[in-house]
Amino acid sequence: MPLEHLLLFSFLLFTMGVAGVALRKNLLVVLMSVELMLNAVNLAFVGVARLIGGHDAHVMVLMIYVVAAVEVAIGMAIVVNMFRQKDSISVDSFDAMRG
Amino acid sequence: MDPSVLALYACCLLALAGGAGVVVLRNPVHAAISLLFTMLALGGAYAMLQAHLLAALQVLIYAGAIVILIVYVIMLLDQGREDVPHPFYELGAAIGVPVAVVLLFIAAPAFLGSSAGPEPLISGPEACTDCESAAVTMKNPDGSSRTTTGCEDFADTDGDGFTDCNDPDCHDNELCYGTVRAVGGSLLGPFVLPFEVASVLLLAGIAGSILLTGRRPKDLEDVLPAPQIAPAPVPELHEGGRGGDA
C-alpha cells in the first residue's frame, strides 16, 4: 500500500469527522466526530512513521491519546452538566453565551 | 497481493465505514457502536503498519475506555433520538457538503497525483527478501558489532540472552520497530518533557471532570436520606470547598 492511499484514507476519515461536527445536532455525536478527526490524524502519523522510520510519530500519537482521553472526560462532564441545565443535548438548545 | 496489504486496506475501509456510520446513524448508541468499529479497525491498521504498541493502546484506550465512557453518558442521559428529521436536510448541510466535496477534490491530487514515492509503505514478500538493506546491527558487550539479516523473529543474534526484538543493544532496526521497548525508549529519552507535561494534563482532566460532574454536598442531602450522610463532616467539607472556590 503506498503512502498516498493511506493518507487518502486518513483524509477521508478526517472529512467525515468535520462533516459530523458541522452537521449533527446531538452534542454526543459531535464529540464522537471530534474523536474521528483525532484518529484520522493518528492514522496519518503512523503511516508516515512507517515510511520514514523512527518513533517520533509514535510518541506524538501517544500524546494525542492523552489529549483525546482528557478531552472526552471533560467533554462528557460538560455534556452532563448541559443536560442537567436544559434537559436536552441538542446543539440548537445552546445558542446563548449566558443564561 | 500480499495478505497483510489486503488486511490493511480492509482495516482502512472498515474504519471509513465506521466513520460514515458515526456521522449518518441517528441513534447515538448506534453511532457509538460504529465508532467502536472504527477504533478496532484502526487498531488493526496500526498492527499492519508495525506500530504494535499503538495497536494495543488503540484497543485499550479508545475501544476500551473512551467509547465505553461515551456509551455510559448516552445511557445516563437517556435523551432518545434527535428531533431533527434527518441530519442532511438542514440548511447547514446545503453549504457544508459542497464545501467538503470541493475540499476533497482540491486535496485528493496531493495524495493521488503526486506519486512521489514509488516505494510501497508495506511490501509483503519483499519485506524479508529486503533483509540485507534492513540489516540489524548490534553491539556486543566487548565493543565489536555484528550485523544480521534478522529474518527470524525470535533470533538471538548476539547471543546475550535477549531476542532481537527485546535486545537492549538494538535500536531503530526493523525488528524492534514499534515495540514497547523502542517507543518507550523514545518516550523516556528525547520526549521526556512532553511525557511529564502529559501527566499534568491528565491531572487537570481528572480535576476538571470531578469539579464539573461532582454533586455539591447540598444536592446530596436532597437526594440521599439523612442517616446516610455523616452529620458533622459533610457541612465542613462543603464550607471548605466553597471557600476554595471563592
pLDDT at B239 over 50: no
Residues of B within 8 A of A53 (CB-CB) are: 172, 177
Residue A24 to residue B87, Cβ atoms within 8 A: yes
Question: Burial level of A96, CB count in 10 A (0-12/13-18/19+)?
Answer: exposed
pLDDT at B234 over 70: no
pLDDT at A51 over 60: yes
CA distances to A66, B60, B90, B179 from B196, rounded to whole Å, are 11, 21, 44, 21
Query: B132 CB contacts (<8 Å, ≥6 apart)?
Result: B149
- List, in sequence order, every residue forming a beta bridge with A53; answer none if it has no partner: none
B183 contacts A55 by C-beta, under 8 angstroms? yes
Per residue in B42-61, pLDDT (tens digit) is 999 999 988 889 999 999 99
Q: How big is chain B, counted in residues? A: 246
Q: What whole-number distance in Å separates Cα of residue B199 and Cα of residue B35?
A: 26
| A vs B: CB pairs below 8 A | 226
Q: For residue B229, give the C-alpha cell.
A: 450522610
The confidence score (pLDDT) of residue B242 equals 45
Question: Of the ranges A71-80, B154-163, B224-233, which one carries the lowest mean pLDDT score?
Answer: B224-233
Mean pLDDT within B160-173: 55
How distant is the Cα of B6 from the closest Cα of chain A, in angstroms? Answer: 9
The confidence score (pLDDT) of residue A96 equals 78
Tell me, what amino acid is at B99?
V
How distant is the Cα of B55 from the closest Cα of chain A, in angstroms? Answer: 10
Q: What domains appear along chain A, each with residue ranges and CATH number?
A: 3-88 (1.10.287.3510)
Reported as a pLDDT band with limits 50, 70 and 90, residue B101 is confident
Mean pLDDT within B91-106: 73
End-to-end Cα, chain B, rounded Å: 66
As a whole number, the mean pLDDT across chain B is 72
- Quote the ipTM score: 0.93
Is residue A55 within 8 angstroms of chain B, CB to CB?
Answer: yes
How distant is the Cα of A36 from the closest Cα of chain B, in angstroms? Answer: 7
The confidence score (pLDDT) of residue B228 equals 44
- What percent of the residues of chain A are helix, what percent strand, and what percent coil, each to the nearest 5? 80, 0, 15
B45 contacts A43 by C-beta, under 8 angstroms? yes
Residue of B195, B166, B49 lying closest to A59 (CA atoms): B195
Per residue in B178-232, pLDDT (tens digit) is 888 888 888 888 899 999 999 999 999 999 988 888 766 666 556 555 554 444 4
Q: Which long-range contacts (CB under 8 A, 24 or more apart) does B168-171 make?
A: B169/B138, B169/B139, B169/B140, B170/B136, B170/B138
As a whole number, the mean pLDDT across chain A is 89
pTM of the model: 0.71
Is residue A48 within 8 angstroms of chain B, CB to CB?
Answer: no
| Minimum Cα–Cα distance from A6: chain B residue | B12
The confidence score (pLDDT) of residue A75 equals 92
